Amino acid sequence: MKTTKPKVPTRDVFTTICKTDIGVEVLKEYIFHPTRKWRFDYAIPTHKIALEVEGGVWTKGRHTSPKGFLGDIEKYNAGTLLGWRIFRVTPDELYKTKTVNLIKQAILA
């Protein structure tokens, strides 16, 4: 019988920036739905804030294909119904001050 270890939250540059600059714990690849295996790229569960990084904007990636786009709509609507505020950024915007400020503003709202 195979046993699996619980997944340890992944740390990266963005989660570290948020912990240092804002003082909040941001979780990467956070499973938010009770029955589906949907994940938010980044989440602050204590504030129900999610950040989705939309890659492939210029390269016709998964998020811009018809199937990927429709899947994202379903996922984002489900998250919204569960009370999450979902923000979307591109990979280039992830580490910018304006994204950190967006998170700060959402926490204060």
Range(s) of the domain holding residue 72:
13-108
For the chain, the domain total comes to 1
Predicted local distance difference test score (pLDDT) of residue 109 = 87
Q: What is the reported pLDDT for 9?
A: 55
0.85 cut: is pTM over it?
Answer: no
Predicted local confidence at residue 12, as pLDDT: 87
- Across 18-36, average pLDDT: 95
**Mode of pairing for the β-strands spanning 39-44 and 49-53:** antiparallel
Let me know if residue 6 belongs to a domain: no
Alpha carbon separation from 106 to 23, 51, 52, 73 (Å, rounded): 14, 11, 14, 21
Chain mean pLDDT for the chain: 87
Q: State the alpha helices, DSSP H only, in the chain.
A: 13-17, 66-81, 97-108
* pLDDT-above-90 percentage for the chain: 72
Q: Report whether 49 contacts 88 (CB < 8 A).
A: no
Edge to edge, the sheet with strand 39-44 lists 27-31, 39-44, 49-53, 85-89
In a domain, 49, yes or no: yes
Is 98 or 57 the better-scoring residue by pLDDT? 98
Determine the pLDDT at residue 56.
Answer: 65
Task: Read off the pLDDT of each residue in 3-15 and give the average, rounded to a whole number.
Answer: 66
Check residues 57 and 37 and name the one with the higher pLDDT: 37
- The CATH number that applies at residue 93 is 3.40.960.10
pLDDT per residue as tens digits for the range 52-79: 998 765 556 555 677 888 999 999 999 9
